[in-house]
Amino acid sequence: MPGGPGKLGKPKKVRSFWKELPILVIIALALALLIKTFLVQAFSIPSDSMQNTLQRGDRVLVDKLTPWFGSEPQRGEVVVFHDPGGWLGETQTSDSGPVAEGIQKALSFIGLMPSAEEKDLIKRVIAVGGDTVSCKRGGKVVVNGKPLDEPYIFPGNTPCDEKPFGPIKVPEGRIWVMGDHRQDSLDSRYHQNLNNGTVSVDDVVGRAFVVAWPIDRWSTLPVPSTFDQPGLGAAAAMAPSAVGLAGALPIVLWRRRRLIAKARAESEARPDRLTADC
């Protein structure tokens, strides 16, 4: 009958929580894997080489997104990178039992723990491609002629007294890295037999931007102000300028010769015109 009450369908049966749980877990794992692969990954600090900026056992979050857009490591950043070859030496594997190993593998798969198989290091970028870096005993680290003021160095350490180096010209596409705990860091200084101690930017996983754990250690990892001093990047910037100057010089000389020739021609013709006007 028109206008009468219509038939009501049977109410849908709501799935139980336990039936929904596997779907939620799969979605959560997929999102975590996506974040780990393209956005952010957690790393645990295994040594004292970055004290006091980072302590052994700290968990840092590493930005993996910006390198996908062509961003390269900059001076002063703390970066995680794959072992360029022999930096870590022979690492001993600890027998923690099958259960603990299974948990670590599961957590590392989604980015909540570092993988036991991966060989990664964390250091501070001191110089980038095109820079010249050096350090003499009793002096400071010098980049492109500018000495660095390094308040982040571990108290009591010197910039490089135990291992002076340079000057070293960092090739394009590579970086020179050092630990903040200079007396306890086998960094670029100790691997100059391989690419002068420099690391390829292709080996860089990303920039560590925050200490996320433990809670009482939470802090960001900004670039120290010494890397913003005027003229620090001047040497690297000179190359494009020099190329531009070299290309412009012939044009300027050619134009100058034309102007001189034109002025001569006008000066030679001017007396004739004056005589005719008289």
Q: Would you give the DSSP letter of residue 68?
A: G
Residues in CB range of 129: below 8 A, 6 or more apart: 170, 171, 172, 173, 174, 175, 201, 236
Catalytic residue among 36, 64, 108, 123: 123
Asked if 49 is an active-site residue, the reply is yes
176, with CB counted inside 10 A (0-12, 13-18, 19+), is buried
Catalytic residue among 49, 108, 185, 188: 49
Separation CA 233–CA 95 (nearest Å):
47
Asked if 123 is an active-site residue, the reply is yes
Separation CA 278–CA 273 (nearest Å):
9
Separation CA 23–CA 13 (nearest Å):
17
Separation CA 152–CA 149 (nearest Å):
9
Q: Which residues are catalytic?
A: 49, 123
